[in-house]
Structure 1
Amino acid sequence: MYFSNKQIILGFLYNIGISLAGFALKCLTPFNDKIKLGVNGRKQTFNVLKTHLNNEDKTLWFHCASLGEYEQGLPVFKELRNYHKNHKIVLSFFSPSGYEIRKNTPVADVVVYLPLDTLKNASKFINMVKPELTIFVKYDIWPNILNTLKEKQLKAILISANFRANQSYFKFYGKKLKNALFAFDHIFTQNETSKKLLNSINYKNVTVTGDTRFDRVYSQLQQNNTLNFIETFKNNQLCVVAGSTWPEDEALLIDFINNTEHKNVKFIIAPHNIKANQINNLKEQLHPKTVLFTEKENSNLPNAQVFIINTIGILSKIYNYANIAYVGGAMGNTGLHNTLEPAVFGVPIIIGKNYDKFPEAADMINFGGMFSIANNQELSEILSKLITKSDFCNKAGSKNLNYIKNNKGAVIQILSYLRI
């Protein structure tokens, strides 16, 4: 009886917390455009579902927290899209950074914001979608929604899961979240550590398949990655591509570019934030001739040394032109961005110092294809070495490509479980 009462109390507190979070988000909408997009988008979710679904539809439901998880799940989504041609695919996001960029993706028939995880919303959402199969990617565990799926005996799996011992699932106070994991019929983890953590709470339906991102980035090699304007800019010279940079990254890059002796080296910078004032500030600090993506039609690209990409959606193709890559996010605390995208093109990669939560970065550093730096001097030393020693540069890049090849294959295992 004590256990049951405890569960009731924890559930009550969780539901109160979700309601308070919803109220707080509404209060913050006048001050934050991203929050406003999410709040307004969630208001439309049930109307969108009502418009696009009917009781006779067979459906699959894919859920991603944000854009990164979407890219992670995409190779699985595509296979299921091709196999289940008579099903409607519902794709949900929690974050505007995922929804706003992929709301027109061809992999889904309906794209919506996931409603807040109240009991009422969970019941309404599942009753409208009625998914034959639900796939969550990596995390974003919502207890009420998942428990509703379980109560209705609807199949659900979690793919590319990556757990850490300090997460709530494995603490005495995380009982509700822990129980939500048991709503999944099967969990596919990125590593053995995650499997052992699940086993420690007596969850047994788990398989270590690795990370589906390896399959996703490897498929990039089968695509057309040609960008004529990048070829024109590069002009057959050595090119350093700095992707998803933040101000902390850019400060180091600006110093190197402005003071480098390597005048024949080209630099492409693709900032994470492309707000006009920040882009203009970046351009003004660079001494060599610099061109913005939005100015390229009226510029002499071959004569420029720096090309700033103030648009989104093309970085994965731009990495195809890199001889050396710098990936942002790890000089500060915002989180390291996708290092697998440049790795698949067989180039050495430089990152900042804060990469503890990114096992693929630690792996590539250990294998000798990636280099972590903490200051201007360290960036200058490794970048100059990669620029001047082509053999060293090529060997480091090859190690990254081999790392991708050796770790792909998660998608095949997941599809085998699903019997397609």
Structure 2
Amino acid sequence: MSFLYNIGINLTGFGLKFLAFFNEKIKKGVVGRRNLFSILEKNLNEQDKTLWFHCASLGEYEQGLPVFKELRELYPNHKIVLSFFSPSGYDIRKNSPVADIVIYIPLDTKKNAKRFISILKPELSIFVKYDIWPNLLNELKARNLRAILISAVFREKQPYFKFYGQQLRDALFSFEHIFTQNEHSKTLLKSINYNNVTVSGDTRFDRVYSQLQQDNNLNFIDSFKDNKLCIVAGSTWPEGEKLITAYINSFKDKDVKFIIAPHNIKDAQIKNLSEKLEVSTVLYSNKDTANLSTAKVFIIDTIGILSKIYNYADIAYIGGALGNTGLHNTLEAAVFSVPIIIGNHYEKFPEAHALIESGGTFSISNQNEFNLILNKLIDESDFKTDCGSKNFEYVNKNRGAVIQILDYLRI
């Protein structure tokens, strides 16, 4: 199986180089990996002590961030290397303050793994949630270098638990400890005789709760909201925007403001969304010359400020679950005591199930359901407040994963 994996990963490398001619995202990853070894060799020397944090993409980075920040403070004299697999994570966090060096993870060939670990020699490596790379992890283990996996979630259908998944199982045993989000994941690990497991929960709860300690004021949102009830639609996709725009156009007389933050902020997407709205609309990119207080809809055609915008939400719609793209982060809104509406495809998101069960979040599948719950939340203030409180309490009671991880690392 190891032989087949190594053939496959090398073929993948050739395939990605070919596909890079046709796909901009793949091209970024291919180009970004060309100089990663020279970047490391330029910025690290034999005397440096290092820590290595790895995340698949932006979501995993946000998940690991509270742990990364604590370790940055605990080990101020170590150089921290942060790696990403996906360009979407690298592009947005390539200047992350928690790291001294931000790079793409190399393709997981045996040759790359040996060279990468030889340069890095990390005293501790932290992988977040998944993105398990056998050759890199086996190289860490061969050199007796510590590695842990945090916020992990496992399912029966994954290769680790199948007859053909021996190499991936071996990679898991390269971690000296795995911190899982739930008991079910722990049970699955024990079924393959991996016993160094702690159910710590999801570090995202700590991450979003820390947002409350930050300055979340945005003067331009204050000007736009103008003390009106405000609905924030975050990380939206076209299928959700269709419901939102139809609602706005149908209920023009409601004294309500709407902020829409699309996941895709390409010009054509923003233009298409704007043209479907029959009310006064302003774009973030035009905010400095617009009369924000008179606009009914504010479209956020930028990235990086949505978590602060939820501070201004009275009600939130979170995108992704109406289509096939996956539900976006509901906890970012929940921590601000905001009632939440999501689509109906949330099967793989345990926090969505829990938020719905607690009574503060609602799943819809069509325009009528969307209109009914949104009108109820707008018109019944006490109901809206109660729903928001339930969402906050869910976040609050699930905090603590970071403390457990750090306590383990201090031993």
Which TM bucket (shorter chain)? over 0.9
CA distance in structure 2 between the partners assigned to 1:116 and 1:357 by the alignment: 28
Residue 32 of structure 1: how far off its partner (Å): 1.1
The one-letter code of the counterpart of 1:77 is: F
In the alignment, does 2:82 pair up with 1:91? Answer: yes
Q: Match for residue 353 of structure 1? A: 344
Runs of 4+ in 1 over 6 A off after TM superposition: none
CA RMSD of aligned residues (A): 0.7
The counterpart of 1:48, out of the listed 12, 17, 39, is 39
CA distance in structure 2 between the partners assigned to 1:159 and 1:359 by the alignment: 17
- The one-character-per-residue Cα deviations of 1:41-82 (angstroms, maximum 9, x if unpaired) are 011110110110011100000000000000000000000000
CA distance in structure 2 between the partners assigned to 1:381 and 1:262 by the alignment: 16
The one-letter code of the counterpart of 2:164 is: Y
In the alignment, does 2:194 pair up with 1:203? Answer: yes
Residue 20 of structure 1: how far off its partner (Å): 1.1
2:252–2:279: 8 Å Cα contact kept in structure 1?
no
Q: Match for residue 222 of structure 2? A: 231
The counterpart of 2:100, out of the listed 104, 109, 113, is 109
Q: Match for residue 325 of structure 1? A: 316
Residue 262 of structure 1: how far off its partner (Å): 4.7
The counterpart of 2:152, out of the listed 161, 179, 197, is 161
Q: Match for residue 120 of structure 1? A: 111
Give aligned pairs, total. Answer: 411
Q: How does 1:291-370 map to 2 (within 5 A)?
A: 291-370=282-361
CA distance in structure 2 between the partners assigned to 1:137 and 1:411 by the alignment: 12
Residue 263 of structure 1: how far off its partner (Å): 2.5
Q: How does 1:19-418 map to 2 (within 5 A)?
A: 19-260=10-251, 262-418=253-409
Q: Match for residue 3 of structure 2? A: 12
SS in 2 for 1:160: strand
- The one-character-per-residue Cα deviations of 1:264-315 (angstroms, maximum 9, x if unpaired) are 1000000000000110110000001010000111111111000000000000
SS in 2 for 1:307: strand
CA distance in structure 2 between the partners assigned to 1:26 and 1:305 by the alignment: 46
Structure 1 stretch displaced more, 251-260 or 351-360:
251-260
CA distance in structure 2 between the partners assigned to 1:22 and 1:338 by the alignment: 31
2:85–2:104: 8 Å Cα contact kept in structure 1?
yes
CA distance in structure 2 between the partners assigned to 1:403 and 1:138 by the alignment: 21
Structure 1 stretch displaced more, 25-34 or 187-196:
25-34
Measured at CA, do residues 20 and 260 of structure 1 come closer, stay the same or move farther in structure 2, by a change above 3 Å?
same
2:160–2:166: 8 Å Cα contact kept in structure 1?
yes
Residue 261 of structure 1: how far off its partner (Å): 5.1
The one-letter code of the counterpart of 2:8 is: G
CA distance in structure 2 between the partners assigned to 1:362 and 1:260 by the alignment: 30
- The one-character-per-residue Cα deviations of 1:175-221 (angstroms, maximum 9, x if unpaired) are 11111000000000000000000000000000000000000000000
Residue 86 of structure 1: how far off its partner (Å): 0.9
CA distance in structure 2 between the partners assigned to 1:27 and 1:49 by the alignment: 26
Residue 167 of structure 1: how far off its partner (Å): 0.6
Percent identity over paired residues: 69
